[in-house]
Amino acid sequence: MRTFPSSRRLAAVAAAVLASVALAGCSSGSSATSAGSSGAAASGPIAVVASTDVWGEIAAEVGGDLVTVTSIIDDPSKDPHEYEADAQNQLALSKASVVVENGGGYDDFVDTMLSSSKNTGATVVNASTVSGYDLNPSTGAFNEHLWYDFPTVKKVVDQLATSFSRIDPAEASTFTANAAAYNTKIDALIATEAELKSTFQGEGAAITEPVPLYLLDAVGLVDQTPTEFSEAIEGGTDVAPDVLASTLALFSSGQVSVLVYNEQTSGPQTEAVLAAAKAGNVPVVPVTETLGSGESYLDWMTGNLQALKTALSQ
């Protein structure tokens, strides 16, 4: 898999963080320390804070009615890379017993705000760490969009069950059962990927950003996009004219069978790529970094796979 530099990190406004520390206080952090480290049964639902609604929804599936989940980024209309955290987020983190973050440079504001809240006892589940992938390769590159990597999602599910069980041992069997049931559904997604791979392996694909690359790799597609193009789009910088020309040529030369693009970010270069795909009769599949309104993670990914199958079958 080709990896990419960490995306523009989810931004936090320093003034909001500093102002919210006073609101959060230290007492709630002490409470979380007690719940997260004592091993005693939880006195109520386990307070969970997730950086995005993707990881939040997954945590809710594992915890059921034994947890309460707050997702910091939960609006599909917002670009996660430009998100500005606020005092309410800080307060939630100060009271959390479990924090679920993506890691890999994607949501560093969570660690900053958690540290500011003095909540040293919260259990942190970091998807990048759990994935087992190299977070510091020699190239300095890492594709942090791990929710498109189903094996990593399964590892996060298992880690959540373990973390919840440590806080509320009396309900360990429930958390374990919930995790097993959810992972069975993830296995169905993996089976769909394998099915698509048996038919479409080796076909070329183009992207605007590396958001869907784990999924495309699993399906056996070959990313033909110039590295400089997707790096520039993800980094929010201008694409060099010759790089843009090479990217646009993919759609007129028959090198790619599909364009998969992040519809939550746009600009002149991505619009040019979309126009080139349309002109070249190359199917387009939009993807996002957060859940659609009222959408579950499983439905979301099932829809992504179906859309990809439909596009590749044209």
Question: What mean pLDDT is predicted for residues 192-220?
Answer: 97
User: Which domain does 300 fall in, by range?
Assistant: 195-312
Domain assignment of residue 65, yes or no: yes
Say yes or no: 199 and 253 in one domain: yes
Residue 9 pLDDT exceeds 90 = no
Last residue of a domain, one of 131, 160, 189: 189
CB 90 within 8 A of CB 63: no
Q: What is the pLDDT of residue 81?
A: 59
Residue 29 pLDDT exceeds 90 = no
Say yes or no: 79 and 220 in one domain: no
Q: What is the pLDDT of residues 210-228, one digit of tens each?
A: 999 999 999 999 999 999 9
Last residue of a domain, one of 189, 213, 248: 189
* 302 vs 76, residue with greater confidence: 302
Say yes or no: 204 and 155 in one domain: no
Say yes or no: 39 and 76 in one domain: yes
User: Which residue type, as a one-letter code, is found at position 241?
Assistant: P
CB 163 within 8 A of CB 98: yes
Last residue of a domain, one of 143, 160, 189: 189
Residue 162 in tokens: 């373990």
Question: How would residue 82 be classed by pLDDT, with cut points 50, 70 and 90?
Answer: low
Question: What mean pLDDT is predicted for residues 147-167?
Answer: 98
The average confidence (pLDDT) of the chain is 86
Lowest average pLDDT, out of 37-46, 62-71, 122-131, 301-310, goes to 37-46
Residue 111 pLDDT exceeds 70 = yes
∠ CA 167-173-177, nearest 5°, is 115
Q: What is the pLDDT of residue 284?
A: 98
Domain assignment of residue 290, yes or no: yes
Q: What is the pLDDT of residue 292?
A: 86
Instruction: Render the burial of 40-71: b for 16+ CB within 10 Å, e for the rest.
Output: eebeeebbbbbbbbbbbbbbbbbbeebbbbbb
Strands (DSSP E) found in 185-255: 204-207, 222-223
Q: What is the pLDDT of residue 1?
A: 45
Residue 110 pLDDT exceeds 80 = yes
How many Cβ atoms are within 10 Å of 266's Cβ, its own excluded?
14
Q: Return contacts of 29-32, CB within 8 angstroms, 24+ apart.
A: 29/94, 29/117, 29/118, 29/119, 29/120, 29/121, 29/122, 30/121, 31/95, 32/94, 32/95, 32/96, 32/97, 32/119, 32/121, 32/122
Q: What is the pLDDT of residues 33-47, one digit of tens each?
A: 334 443 445 579 999
How many Cβ atoms are within 10 Å of 255's Cβ, its own excluded?
17
Domain count, the chain: 2
Domain assignment of residue 5, yes or no: no
Say yes or no: 234 and 148 in one domain: no
**Torsion, CA 48, CA 49, CA 53, CA 58, rounded to 10:** -30
Domain assignment of residue 32, yes or no: yes
Domain assignment of residue 3, yes or no: no
Q: What is the pLDDT of residues 278-300, one digit of tens each?
A: 999 999 999 999 898 889 999 99
Say yes or no: 181 and 208 in one domain: no
Domain assignment of residue 4, yes or no: no
User: Among 130, 144, 134, which residue's Cα sits nearest to residue 59?
Assistant: 130
How many Cβ atoms are within 10 Å of 111's Cβ, its own excluded?
16
Say yes or no: 35 and 180 in one domain: yes
* 81 vs 205, residue with greater confidence: 205
**Which CATH number goes with the domain that contains 292?**
3.40.50.1980
∠ CA 68-70-74, nearest 5°, is 140
Say yes or no: 103 and 66 in one domain: yes
Say yes or no: 228 and 294 in one domain: yes
Q: What is the pLDDT of residue 208?
A: 96
User: Which residue type, as a one-letter code, is found at position 4?
Assistant: F
Lowest average pLDDT, out of 10-19, 100-109, 166-175, 301-310, goes to 10-19
Say yes or no: 146 and 281 in one domain: no
Lowest average pLDDT, out of 15-24, 144-153, 176-185, 299-308, goes to 15-24
Question: How would residue 76 be classed by pLDDT, with cut points 50, 70 and 90?
Answer: low
For 156, how many CA atoms within 13 A lie in the half-sphere containing its CB?
31
Residue 172 pLDDT exceeds 80 = yes
Say yes or no: 59 and 77 in one domain: yes
User: Among 189, 218, 186, which residue's Cα sits nearest to residue 201?
Assistant: 218
* 9 vs 222, residue with greater confidence: 222
Element at 72 (helix H, strand E): strand 67-73
Say yes or no: 220 and 102 in one domain: no
Domain assignment of residue 47, yes or no: yes
Beta bridge mates, 101: 126
How many Cβ atoms are within 10 Å of 159's Cβ, its own excluded?
19
The owner of tokens 């080139």 is: 276
Residue 22 in tokens: 């006073």
Domain assignment of residue 8, yes or no: no
